[in-house]
Amino acid sequence: MRVFIFILLTLLIFSCGKGTKYNYTKVEKSKFTNLVNQKNITRKPNTTLDKKIFNNDYPIEIALYKNNKFYYNLPRLGDGQGTWYYRNGHLELSAKRKIFDMYLEIHAEDLKAENLLITFTDRFGRKVLKAEKDIQ
């Protein structure tokens, strides 16, 4: 019985200690406007010229377009397109792939949306990535 209680308490302590180190801030849709390319998506977007957010460590890059479409590039999995929309203080992105459907979110870490997070779940679990912006 003591072993069972010890295991239960250990699991409880470790599960409570896994808090997020990120600050999710709900912002108005207008705070994301500077991330959106003010043109419709093309068949093969040029992310060297278009605005994008990215994380080189994962790696992933995302370009948003005014017709609520987005382009993504995951060097390990390939690229593609999907749709995005604003909902409840953040952006939600989805894309259908042959093997699986992608669901991502872009969150602000501050009220001005200067610092961004990309969240999603992959085969290893939930991921939260700090995003860099290339919004020339």
pLDDT (tens digit, 9 = 90+) per residue, 79-124? 999 999 999 999 999 999 888 899 999 999 999 999 999 999 988 8
Q: What is the structure's pLDDT at 21? A: 84
pLDDT (tens digit, 9 = 90+) per residue, 13-61? 555 545 558 889 999 999 999 999 999 999 999 999 999 999 999 999 9
**The overall pTM is greater than 0.85:** no
What are residue 133's DSSP bridge partners? 53
Question: Could you identify the residue written with the tokens 């990309």?
Answer: 118
Tell me: domain 20-134, CATH 2.30.30, correct? no
Mean pLDDT of the chain: 89
Q: What is the structure's pLDDT at 17? A: 45
Question: Which residue, among 3, 29, 25, has the nearest Cα to 91 in the 3D structure?
Answer: 29
Higher pLDDT, 7 or 18: 7
Classify strands 60-65 and 36-37 as parallel, antiparallel or unpaired: parallel
